[in-house]
Chain A
């Protein structure tokens, strides 16, 4: 039995709106697992259900061998970090962090040492008497994290915790989160819509779409071998075409595909950096170009619809409206059976 198990989970809002129809998931102790998907895919709903903030329609949630699915949220001992940090505006850093321990009637000496230790762990020593409004987003984020981990939760839920930070800080906090997670050995469920973030942080990633799990895998497999069109597209295979009878189909037209793919192949996909612009068996018209430094990214109009490809910056002389050859290398293609 796994540490956290969701069985046949069904979730929704109100009478009619279904968010998650039937979800099964198993998470091991000490694992950092991400729920990844676009907004409305059910990832946040799933997380809120685990926290107990919304009721289950059906199914069960097992945590550490105990069914917590019907426990009130304040009895679950699950920490949560909110997208907006949700710090208590009237309490200073120390009191924010101490809140959960005070409710647990921890004695004053233990409380002080625990709170100070966790504030130090997130690098905020000396900030104890600041109010949340006097701190930057990154600092508030650390307070939120400290507040959630000081109660030693069985599970830590993080709801897009880095999305309100600027890009540089986001990468820095990502590494820090990972370090804290390793040090404490805490099991984390991380919700995000940012695939780069999920890939960088997670032990495993659950890609969700329309309230269902599309694929559950380690980051490497997800990135290199997505199994559905949705995941492929999400992982950067932006050129996806139907495959039938030796041809790529799309947008009313078709292009011949050089090699015979395995039986059951219904779709072929390429990342833009695998599509070579400038030479190849196919021809298209430049719709737009974007300079990326070493390379130029081209959007081409082709018989199978728009194709995104790259050319080395030194050779990229084509402008909007020019006709240019390109290749979809068969050896580089991602072939999907579903």
Chain B
């Protein structure tokens, strides 16, 4: 009984640790005052309304969404075939390839950002949006490969062979047999990659430029200039947006069936 009490207490402590900061932001977002304060002296929807109509936030949100969705889709289009090839026809030097694919998860994103800045902006003089997009694709592809590869390794090869003996071509086998069975991994990779892109600061910091900014960068800039509760309000909206995003995809795609 004592242990039950102890573990329950630990559970609540962990919850508090994880959710506490969010509660502060959440409450601050509904402040009616002019400066960021906790606890707020009075509550209103004032700042929620302000960030919703603010031009710079709308633009940055759209950029984030565009970059996030485009980069995620392209990363999956690149990553799924790579993962398939790695799992079914392991090339020589497989260990090295895996290391390289993991490296963006290990190398500080700051470094990647700086390197990409030199490459795209200073060397090639690529448009800002394109540089940002390519930077994000490079960042997300390893996530896509990793997640999908793990699922492919667990998928039996003999069901593909069965499909082939029944008359399916390699391509048909991939689309009719392999893809439906790694669906949950592809969806998981999609979420992971999109959220990574959407929350990305270090790489974006280097690659955003005049007129084009992602939401986190815009928020960072805003906080440096003014100390009003709009960032808290916006953060609250973002959390709600993410939750809605997950709920809708869950309803539409039914991922929990696969988990």
Contact = CB atoms under 8 A, between A and B. Distances in A.
Given A86-B161, A88-B159, A103-B172, A147 B166 contact: yes
B2 interface: no
Contact of A53 (B156, B159, B161, B177): B161
Interface string B111-151: 00000000000000000000000000000000000000000
Contact of A79 (B163, B165, B168): B165
The interface residues of chain B, by DSSP majority, are classed as helix
B159 A89 contact: yes
Nearest to A132: B159
A99 interface: yes
Contacts of A52: 164-165
A75 to B, nearest CB: 8
A103 B161 contact: no
Contact size range, B: 10 to 19
Nearest to B258: A90
Given A88-B177, A89-B181, A90-B181, A74 B167 contact: yes
A87 interface: yes
A84 interface: yes
B167 A82 contact: no
B180 A82 contact: no
Given A74-B169, A90-B180, A84 B164 contact: no
A94 to B, nearest CB: 15
Contact of B162 (A75, A76, A86, A90): A86
Contacts of B180: 90
A151 B159 CA distance: 17
B158 interface: yes
A103 B166 contact: yes
B156 to A, nearest CB: 7
B162 A82 contact: yes
A80 B165 contact: yes
A9 interface: no
A100 B173 CA distance: 11
A103 B162 contact: no
Nearest to A53: B161
Of B159, B167, B168, the most chain A CB neighbours within 10 A belong to B167
Interface in B79-98: none
A261 interface: no
B166 A84 contact: no
B251 to A, nearest CB: 20
Contact of A100 (B156, B158, B159, B167): B167
Contacts of A90: 180-181
B161 A80 contact: yes
Interface string A48-70: 00011100000000000000000
A88 B165 contact: no
A167 to B, nearest CB: 24
Nearest to A79: B165
B164 A53 contact: yes
15 contacts: A52-B165, A73-B165, A74-B167, A82-B158, A82-B162, A86-B159, A88-B159, A88-B162, A89-B181, A90-B181, A99-B163, A99-B166, A99-B176, A100-B167, A104-B167
